[in-house]
Amino acid sequence: MNEKRKPKSPDEIDAHIGRQVRMRRKMAGLSQEKLGEQLGVTFQQIQKYEKGANRIAASRLFQIAEVLGSPLSYFLPDNSGNGGEEGFAERQTAFVMDFVSTAEGVELNRSFTHIKSSKVRRRLIELVSEIARDQNNDASQE
């Protein structure tokens, strides 16, 4: 009866809300410690929220939304009526959200939005796309 238990993976909704909290916190330029101070919790608790390891109570999510200056709906998944089935688009969205919530993703987005010329933004997208294609081609030839 002494079976080893497999660590429980976070619920997908908890993980989604955690990713949203992380992304919004980074966009606001707050550290986990600073957000924790404003909420009266430790930075370790913020880490657990962001990983989806600990669920965020509705009242706490409301506090987070207020501190980060976001509507509560920003953190919640879009319930488009797909019956809870995660398809390719949802997995791609999670992948993008994971990247955007990194320091590099936040900096890239922040810098990109400061470029006023739509022509320059379009050329940058084309350049990055070409680099990615070249890297994929190089990797497939190895």
Q: Where does 9-78 sit in CATH, by number?
A: 1.10.260.40
Domain boundaries, the chain: 9-78, 102-142
Handedness of CA 98, 103, 104, 108 (dihedral sign): positive
Give the pLDDT confidence score for residue 88 in this predicted structure. Answer: 46
CA torsion 110→32→62→106, rounded to 10°? 10
Residue type, 5: R
Rounded Cα distance between 52 and 12, Å, is 8
pLDDT at position 91 over 60: no
**Residue scoring higher pLDDT (8 or 43):** 43
Q: Is the dihedral of CA 26, 30, 34, 39 positive or negative?
A: negative
Amino acid 123: pLDDT: 94
Residue 87 has pLDDT above 90, yes or no: no
Q: What is the pLDDT of residue 77?
A: 83
Distances in whole angstroms, Cα of residue 31 to Cα of each of 19, 43, 93, 126: 15, 8, 24, 33
Residue 82: pLDDT band by 50, 70, 90 thresholds? very low
Helices H / strands E in the chain, number of each: 7, 0
CA distance 18 to 40: 18
